[in-house]
Amino acid sequence: MGIESFCSADASEPFWDWNLTWHTEDPDFTLCFQNTVLVWIPCIYLWLCFPVYSLYLRWHDRGYIQVSNLNKAKTALGLILWIVCWADLFYSFWERSQNIFRAPFFLISPTVLGITMLLATFLIQYERIKGVQSSGVMTIFWFISLLCATVIFISKIKHALSLEDPFRYATFCIYFLLVLVELILCCFPEQPPLFSETVNDPNPCPEFSASFLSRITFWWITGLMIQGYRSPLEAKDLWSLNKEDKSEEIVPGLARNWAKEWSKTKRQPPNMLYAPKKQQKSGDSNGDVTEEVEALIIKPSQKSPEASLFKVLYKTFGPYFLMSFLFKAAHDLLMFAGPEILKLLLNFVNNKAAPNWQGYFYTVLLFVCACLQTLILHQYFHICFVTGMRLKTAIVGVIYRKALVITNSARKTSTVGEIVNLMSVDAQRFMDLATYINMIWSAPLQVILALYLLWRNLGPSVLAGVAVMILLVPINAVMAMKTKTYQVAQMKSKDNRIKLMNEILNGIKVLKLYAWELAFKEKVLEIRQKELKVLKKSAYLAAMATFTWVCAPFLVALSTFAVYVTIDENNILDAQKAFVSLALFNILRFPLNMLPMVISNIVEASVSLKRLRVFLSHEELDPDSIVRGPIKQAEGCIVVKNATFSWAKTDPPLLNSINFTVPEGSLVAVVGQVGCGKSSLLSALLGEMDKKEGYVVVKGSVAYVPQQAWVQNATLEDNIIFGREQSESRYKRVIEACALLPDIEILPSGDKTEIGEKGVNLSGGQKQRVSLARAVYCNADVYLLDDPLSAVDAHVGKHIFEKVIGPKGLLKNKTRVLVTHAINYLPQMDTILVMTDGEISEMGSYQELLEQDGAFAEFLRTYANAEQTMENSDTDSPSAKEGKPIENGGLVNEAPGKLIHRQLSNSSTYSRDTGKPQSSTADLQKPLAEKNSWKLTEADTAKTGRVKASVYWEYMKAIGLCMSFLAIFLFMCNHIASLSSNYWLSLWTDDPVINGTQQNTTLRLGVYGALGISQGIAVFGYSMVVSIGGIFASRHLHLNLLHNVLRSPMSFFERTPSGNLVNRFSKEIDTIDSTIPPIIKMFMGSTFNVIGACIIILLATPIAAVTIPPLGLVYFFVQRFYVATSRQLKRLESVSRSPVYSHFNETLLGVSVIRAFQEQKRFIHQNDIKVDENQKAYYPSIVANRWLAVRLEYVGNCIVLFAALFAVIARNKLSAGLVGLSVSYSLQITAYLNWLVRMSSELETNIVAVERVKEYSEMEKEAEWSIEQTAPGSSWPHEGKVEFRGYGLRYREDLDLVLKNINVTINGGEKIGIVGRTGAGKSSLTLGLFRINEAAEGEIIIDGVNIAKIGLHDLRFKITIIPQDPVLFSGSLRMNLDPFDRHSDEDIWRSLELAHLKNFVSSLPDKLNHECAEGGENLSVGQRQLVCLARALLRKSKILVLDEATAAVDLETDKLIQSTIKSQFEECTVLTIAHRLNTIMDYTRVLVLERGEVVECGTPDQLLQEKGIFYSMAKDSGLV
């Protein structure tokens, strides 16, 4: 009764009237309902939002927006609205005074509405102050207000003629107009806030300045899409990241939270002060990194509980992520609205008496629900993806920062590869998980809701269907487990294959010289065979999985309906029951399939979480172990008192009770036997070791030169300047002093030359000098030099000592600590520290130590003897290289010490480190412009534009055309069966009901089942065919690729970085193996699904034919737009991803250098920039996905709208069954459309792999390996006579001749030495002999056969070379000597004996089957060289080429090799490219090359008498 009296003064007006509103052709609401509920809805919405929204605004302050005309208009309108509402209120009071009593709501509603308008006006201003450019809350408020007002307005118009209340009518019209204007104004965004980043950003992200509508439909990215469609996007077109997505915003937050969590779990050790102590000295010890990593630096003690990384991640990213929770819940509820509305719609079609407008009402409702669902779902996905992206950024950043402070012992626990994996794989897993994690609660929720609705629909028979579903879950789970084990096995084979490929590509030169390609091709194919076997097994599994996935919904429906109609005769299967149930079953299928996947994802992520936690909990260097003070004239510059150091807390100490003081500006040498702790002493001074006790002070800044030079992948200049300010004059001085000028002249672009990773295009000596130059340039106070002279030649070493380190050098006023092996510099030192077994045994000047006659004198004797064994002890001679004694007194050499001139020729003409155009004299005079254009290698090009149809055709041919067409045919069968089964169902539901039962139920059920089973068979068939076809294709493509790459000429490998090639073999082949077949299956599946749905809709309502083509066109345009942009974004993203990893890799290798120079801040900043660059490409690609999905789902929603609309229009002609069929299909079409575009763009991005693999098969090839017709006899060459006739050679078409006009005849059995300065063409001669490069003019004839006419293998098998750098492959020692298994074990042992390796090999446990590591790492350089000698002895061919194999070998080995060659190859022709003249002084003849021509030729003695080039070279070497 209360509500009635509220509605009218005399309780005559009802609040609600069914007859007025529902059962009528002309629906309307009661006056009371209009003025209460419809007015209050917007008010309630705004007041509910207000508290939450105002809090949100307080936290997210974007700065202040100036008052604009737009803002003034909005505010003014808000105030007018308030006045209009209260005018109504005062009018009501006035009426009371006139004794006209109205219903109470006339007073209450205007009051409430007026206050709400005031609140709205307040919010408009508050948003402006907080910098909101376009507000969702307000837009929705005005929209709801307008909607409610429209309903009232329509009703007012209907009753306009009986105007009884003109004043209220007028105010309402004004109100309606004002709300409409407010809504329109709300659609325009405000200008950006003052002082915001976007102002000075050249290319800001338009997201925050876009209006609310633009943001929910992702309209703001359209500009980029159009640009990407017109021309392929480039990195400069991408927007900057939003401030909250940048590394410098995200990472410190996570680092802080982790630090807090970490300090909670540790009991604070009493001697540690937390944070404050850091703050005051942050200036010097660790740069300002300390603020950021505050507690990350504190030593962990025994941790009681584990620090929980999950908690930290949740704390950092939880709040933003919680929004997604709300969106997901809303979406799940809306999802079930579809089937429910469908039910009402079918009731309407069956009930012929219902008024028409109800049908249209349901149609609109269906459409609105679908649209809301779309918008909400994609907001949800957007939040998830952005969270995922931030997670990745944060994790990468935190790992990077941690890697800079972690102790060396902790670093040893995980390899560089593992740490990089944390960054790539594990961070990626979190990213993927972010999108799925909500499924953990959402999937069960969806299942429960669906089951509840099904139960309401069909009663207990639902349980049959559920039982089938539940049965399928464990089957799927088992298959998933199996697939995983297969994947692991496949990964293992793949890793082995890639490792082998890597070695093949790195040693390709040797393979070609030895003609071993075929043996290695077999090895690769053997591994590949195993891999394909596993692939086949997983293909069968995949076919099973597809079968269950596609047939599950059908089986469920079949079992449910069968049980339903057989339980009870009176259970009638009508359209409503059948199709609503089908719609619900379709909903059910998704969560049930997702759950196992989500769970496995979570398991993987938890493993990653643990690995990350372990890494982040590693102990860190204590920055306070070394006191770094400014320079004060105190006791000395470096003071160490009673210090004991070890590498890790748990290790025994390595350096015991060290005491010494270094006065400022003095030069101290540290000497001692190998392994006595010299380098460790420097590390200890740098704070890299763990200080057990004692006191260490290092005053001033420090520069450090490590023993193994660390070179960045940057220009030479950047490597030297290393982040300091530039000073041209100082730079010049440094380069000159470090003897880098000649090298810079030879480099293609001078000091702007880019240096490859790990410095591949520099020789060892050059790297060492660059490393030294970096230290000298940075102008520090204390220099710690770890044997910088070991890798350089003697005369360069002398130059550097005089110009840089020594008493007259650039550093003469600095404090220098030099670890060295070179005795000749010791007399010039101020102090010498002699170390033995981690202690300082003696200390003093050179003279003092000699007089003591202790360890130092012993050390000198060891070395002096070594020096005497060398041919001559003049320090200038290139042969007097520093040797390094091992404990047992034998002698091995440190890094190769070649003549400085030789170094380049070694790295350019010979080794296949990188594709360098060869340095000839012509190169040096290159104009500068050309110099600057030179790049290290060809970058891995990203293709642009659409994928050509020919690529698909190629792939189909690789599968086999019969298989391809069979697959397509089976697809057709499957979909025809599926359509007919559903059509049959609709016919069944239309069966007339006779006295409560349907006739011929069993027939209907039988046919339905039969159609379903045939569908299943077709699915299984096509799945098998596609999977097996995929394996055929990948076998075929890999074989081709491998064959073609091995057949490519050497120049190809020099131009192409091995990384690119390995990438083809790993990434692209993997894509072809395991990504393309499933994508093809899904692509075909969704194509046919869409076509099928359209056919059904057309069958039911032919008039829909009018709307489907235009929608199809829209769809097509959207799709093309998207694919063009998305493809390019994907490419940009993957191109920008590798720098992140390579930079990280580099940092890990050079972390001690970075710490010594205190460059952590700069490197962290660089890493942040690189991560941001990568995310810059990733962010638009997420948004592009959302953009596409929203557009497409709207196309799908329109199809739903039209299917329902036409069904309502033609409801008198249509049966309920057909309507149900067409609407339930149209409800699915959105998902299919989405899937189709996803798959077609996936297919396009992945099919590129086929294109890239094919690309290499069309490269130029070298000559045939063997030619039957011209193959020489098996005894050829019998004499070994080599003639060069007018021979000339060039490296590339566009380069000058490197060798010209060479006419030499070498008789069988002669020993020839070939000498000449760098770039004279010595190595080129051998390349010509082996036809690594074909002749440009003239010919080479061996024993009467022109070598250009025979097959390459025929030639290369008959000549033997001992190459300059000994290359071994991983595999048994036997395989390395004789890959084709042509020789018996006796032969091999004999050759090993002659090569002086017999004792060594016999001592190995596996003898000949000893496994060599990759690149022969587990043998010394000398032993490797001897293995190469053994190879040559085993082949025993008539012609032997020696490319000065002795450059990297100690004297002992050198002598062995020379004597073996003299005795064993007595009657063979030997050509030696000599760098040390003493080895060829007893040869028959010597050829002297100069600028590619033979200038002198004769016996060594003759040439010395002629006093020509040979004489001057001999003089340089001190042989004359």
Question: Where does 1415-1481 show beta strands of DSSP type E?
Answer: 1439-1443, 1469-1473
Reduced to 3 states (helix: H, G, I; strand: E, B; else coil), residue 1462 is: helix
pLDDT band (50, 70, 90) for residue 380: very high
Overall average pLDDT of the 1074-1084 stretch: 85
The pair phi, psi for residue 1147, each rounded to 5°, is: -60, -45
Q: Tell me how far apart the alpha carbons of residues 339 and 1224 are, in angstroms, rounded to a whole number.
A: 8
pLDDT at 376: 93
Specify the pLDDT at position 883.
Answer: 35
Q: Give 315's contacts (C-beta < 8 A, 6+ positions apart).
A: 257
Sheet bearing 627-629, strands edge to edge? 627-629, 690-699, 638-646, 655-662
Residue 245 has pLDDT above 50, yes or no: yes
Burial of 786 (0-12, 13-18, 19+ CB in 10 A): buried
Q: Give the residue carrying structure tokens 């002659």.
A: 1394
Judged against a pLDDT cut of 80, whether residue 1048 lies above it is answered with yes
Spatial CB neighbours of 556, under 8 Å, sequence gap ≥ 6? 465, 466, 468, 469, 585, 588
User: How big is the chain, counted in residues?
Assistant: 1520
- Strand, helix or coil for residue 920: coil
What SS3 class is residue 942?
coil
Query: At CA 727, angle to CA 725 and CA 732, rounded to 5?
Result: 135
Residue 891 has pLDDT above 60, yes or no: no
Take residue 456 and report the two structure tokens written for it. 């309401």
384, 1115, 1141 from 1167: Cα distances, Å: 24, 41, 9
Residue 941 has pLDDT above 80, yes or no: no
Model confidence band, residue 1461 (pLDDT cutoffs 50, 70, 90): confident
Residue 329 banded pLDDT, cuts 50, 70, 90: very high
With CA atoms as reference, report the closest residue to 242 among 312, 320, 169, 171: 320
Band (98; pLDDT cuts 50, 70, 90): confident
pLDDT for res 379: 92
pLDDT tens figures, 537-565: 888 888 888 888 777 778 888 888 888 88
Number of H helices, E strands in the chain: 56, 27
Q: Tell me the average pLDDT of the chain.
A: 80
- Residues 878 and 796: their CA atoms lie apart, in Å, by 10
Give me the pLDDT at residue 293, please: 39
Q: What is the C-alpha to C-alpha distance for residues 1156 and 1150, in angstroms, rounded to an integer?
A: 10
Higher pLDDT, 822 or 918: 822
Which of the 8 DSSP states describes residue 1277? S
**What single string gives the DSSP state of each residue in 1347-1361?**
GGGS-HHHHHTTEEE
Q: Is the previous residue joined to 1277 through a cis bond, with omega within 30 degrees of 0?
A: yes
The residue with greater pLDDT, 417 or 349, is 349
- Whether residue 290 contacts residue 278, with contact meaning beta carbons closer than 8 Å, is answered with yes
Q: What is the pLDDT of residues 118-130, one digit of tens each?
A: 999 999 999 888 8
780 contact partners, CB below 8 Å, separation of at least 6 = 700, 701, 702, 703, 814
Of 1298 and 331, which is predicted with more confidence? 331
Task: Look at residues 48, 44, 49, 18 and name the one whose alpha carbon lies nearest to residue 33.
Answer: 18
Q: Tokens standing for 1007?
A: 């046919």
Q: Compute CA distances 1117 → 374, 1084, 1110, 1190, 1239, whole Å.
A: 20, 20, 11, 14, 16
Of the candidate ranges 916-930, 1051-1065, 1460-1474, the one whose mean pLDDT is the lowest: 916-930
For 411-418, what is the mean pLDDT? 72
pLDDT single digits (tens) 1094-1132 = 888 888 888 888 888 888 888 888 888 888 888 788 888
* Mean pLDDT, range 1276-1291, rounded to an integer: 83
**How does pLDDT run across 268-324, given as a tens digit for each residue?**
444 433 333 333 333 343 334 333 333 344 444 444 467 788 888 888 888 888 888
Which residues have C-beta within 8 Å of that of residue 22, sequence separation ≥ 6?
none
Give the C-alpha separation, 1374 to 1409, whole Å. Answer: 6
pLDDT of residue 1436: 77
